[in-house]
Chain A
């Protein structure tokens, strides 16, 4: 029997993510990106994500969607969805029209002001093919980012949607998250803290 095709996706463990942007900067460094370009994005999200207020973040990159809006919008066919799930952007075909950036519900593709072309994460496909993990995965000091195979993962342990993150059903975002756990908060004897 043929080996089942992998569907690569990012799994972000938000219980471990400290919102530090080490992923963003190591990626920028490794690929020598224009300083204004980030292939990863770390955003603060609702302090009430787990009930009691605390600092929460979402770290994402390109979500390598099943139905990539960038590919649909692109007039030159610069985006392709690979069999392994990765949405790859071909800069040689890109004319820098930014239609993809407008179409992407996550605002992922960014304009490189020097190359005059768009830029986005390709999940370090060359590294994956060489048996190595993406740079953000190996750089995260908290080991909060992993690559998973969506055909293998137990979907009951992860979520695809979070407040502040566009509905995954729009384009079939492949990114999965492990939700942060709640923290018991004792604060100045105020028990109704989260009602403030």
Chain B
């Protein structure tokens, strides 16, 4: 927990915000002019704002004011006119009877006894509470915000701006997703900048390392299939034989959390056989001698084999193939860095790509993520500045990855300014935070909780007030990707349903009421239209990148590409202190890690809980979204745990049996699915929110931090995959 100035916060949150984009098909879904006179059918561009690699540009067909169909925008060559299964559910999402329709107040949390209130009442209750807190404490620090990636529309950063416009507040900072790897790439390259994934087809050899695009990035999976058909060898390294691994030429079932050892073992072989690119290293890097000496003195392929469970001859062959293929690409997934040594693993893999000269090459790269498309002004956020006189002098930052425990620590400590009010937006923390049982206690310790959402989810159920949020189809938006290089615009397709409002409208509404009650108590502007706000987001220099004259030019195709990233770092201008690729990073050392990409021992498996738990993404949902929808439920509606036949046999578990999975912090009861695709010493439960089912994988997860993340994202990440359990038949 730390206090930071407003300035530091904005800087930090800019990085966080940046986390926040058959032939016949073209003609059938080409945008037709929104014909006001010629009929009642129109097509508009929408943009999927979910936290997803693919961040699709969507064409939405509207008839008589009703959304009839959504499909991919052909103008966006990454979206390629096609959506994923989640995207196709949007009409069901918009018109779901389960949507929250009105502002509501719950008589007692968890009771389900909701009463409809008006927006005026809601604003009044909330504004009075804010003023009451401010009066009592001389600061709004007792108000906390927990918001993240449920909606990455840039206009949703209004929520952060809204809280700042009240005063200094307490914030859930950081990101559960990718922080350790972001730190690693920041130490190595100066920033995470991946090659444009559309040129992945140019790779002669592609290692997908700890990513499952078949479920989480279907458009990249399509590119991988095309590459494979062109002769690219696809190797997938993962502890789980995922759907992506099932499509690979070769699958390497690595022991979890030992990815760094495999990368170092391969690098050692490459060095010993003089297959490395000394010229590239001399020209573009610092610390390579130290790195190569580390390999010479500390690493053997036999050691790497022992660590990873991958046979020596396989490591040698992978190393030979990877070094010989020019170019060879590595896609580093977020899974491999969700460990106590995850940041170190990413650095070791980066180094492997660098020592073979695969950096700055189209079809090469150590591709993790990019934030180059986030050229927004963040005007919705910076519009809110704390009014004069807040004695706190800065926001109080809590780690999003251990938010409930940190809230409780504050509220149990009489020396600290307590957290009295919580605002939740774009997030379902009870479903997504580790140690779900602690989440409930943390919520109990807070007097007043407001959640803005579309669904009566677990977090809403523990709130006092719920505000109905409109879907993206009912408002404006702008979304950028952290993977491909497109920025998508979102035009309103229909009028807001029921009494729903966007988060930005809510920010303005509360500001208005606050200033009515106490003039000057809130700085958030109330006089701008949503369209004005969106025009403020597209800075002049940003739209020039696209060759646009005005921001409205993006409405022509619904999407625009930031060019020039076929081969990230090809200019050799790294953003590190030295301006070079840093095999040896003083910055990394100064942040409490090793300067070199050395092996960091993996977490020890506890003897009493010897089974590793993975809780990765689910194909029919994105975190707590989508799986609750009726269309999705018609395909699948039952959580399960994947168990290897050998483990199942040992435990007397048969396919379909109910089992109890128990960790140090909780348990879940779930149906067993027997499959050869998971390791014998691990089980897999896919995290998701199932409507009206008593299931939450996060009851099992302990808030164990990953090694890195705090340098670039403000807070350490979470070791989601260093979780250990017992499994027993019920």
Contacts and interface: CB of A to CB of B under 8 A. Distances in A.
Do A and B originate from a single complex? yes
Of B70, B634, B675, chain A has the most CB atoms within 10 Å of the CB of B634
Interface string B196-238: 0000000000000000001100110110010000000000000
B309 A139 contact: no
Given A53-B677, A55-B241, A141 B646 contact: no
Contacts of A30: 69
Nearest to B675: A47
Interface stretch (A20-28, A69-77, A94-102, A165-173): A20-28
B311 interface: yes
Nearest to B220: A141
Chain B interface main SS type: mixed
Given A35-B630, A139-B71, A188-B253, A25 B89 contact: yes
Nearest to B317: A186
A55 B89 CA distance: 24
Contacts of B70: 29
Interface string A1-40: 0000000000000011011111011101110100111100
B265 to A, nearest CB: 14
Contact of A56 (B24, B246, B250, B631): B246
Contacts of A53: 241, 675-677
Contact of B243 (A18, A131, A138): A18
B88 A188 contact: no
Interface in A112-141: 127, 131-133, 137-141
Contacts of B514: none
B37 interface: no
B301 to A, nearest CB: 13
B28 interface: yes
B84 A47 contact: no
Of B88, B250, B305, B679, chain A has the most CB atoms within 10 Å of the CB of B88
A20 B85 contact: yes
A26 B243 contact: no
Given A26-B71, A54-B245, A47 B676 contact: yes
Given A35-B630, A47-B675, A53-B676, A16 B225 contact: yes
Interface residues of B, number: 60
B309 A189 contact: yes
Given A142-B222, A183-B246, A25 B635 contact: yes
A88 B275 CA distance: 62
B677 A29 contact: no
A143 interface: yes
Given A18-B247, A183-B246, A138 B84 contact: no
A38 B635 contact: yes
Interface in B536-571: none
Nearest to B24: A132
A138 B81 contact: yes
B88 A26 contact: yes
A187 B253 contact: yes
Contacts of B89: 25, 29
A142 B88 contact: no
Of A20, A141, A142, chain B has the most CB atoms within 10 Å of the CB of A141
B28 A132 contact: yes
A65 to B, nearest CB: 24
Contact of B218 (A22, A38, A131, A132): A22
B298 interface: no
A140 B214 CA distance: 12
A132 B214 CA distance: 27
Contacts, number: 160
Contacts of A192: none
Nearest to A137: B22
A185 B82 contact: no
Interface in A159-196: 180, 183-189, 193-194, 196
B25 A138 contact: yes
A22 B71 CA distance: 11
B322 to A, nearest CB: 15
A36 B646 contact: no
Nearest to A194: B676
A30 B84 CA distance: 15
A181 B465 CA distance: 54
Contacts of A38: 634-635
Contacts of A22: 82-85, 88, 218
Contact of B631 (A25, A186, A187): A25
Contacts of B85: 20-22, 24-25
B249 A186 contact: no
Of A21, A37, A42, chain B has the most CB atoms within 10 Å of the CB of A21
B251 A141 contact: no
Contacts of B255: 188
Interface string A45-87: 0010000011110000000000000000000000000000000
Closest 5 CB pairs of A and B: A187-B253, A53-B676, A54-B246, A188-B309, A133-B22
Interface of B: 22-25, 27-28, 68-71, 80-85, 88-89, 91-92, 214-215, 218-219, 221-222, 225, 241-243, 245-253, 255, 305, 309-311, 314, 619-620, 630-632, 634-635, 644-646, 675-677, 679-680
Interface of A: 15-16, 18-22, 24-26, 28-30, 32, 35-38, 42, 47, 53-56, 127, 131-133, 137-143, 146, 180, 183-189, 193-194, 196
Given A18-B215, A55-B677, 16 more contacts: A18-B218, A18-B243, A20-B84, A21-B635, A22-B218, A29-B89, A35-B92, A35-B631, A38-B634, A55-B246, A141-B82, A141-B83, A143-B82, A186-B250, A188-B253, A188-B255
5 contacts: A19-B619, A21-B620, A29-B70, A29-B89, A183-B250
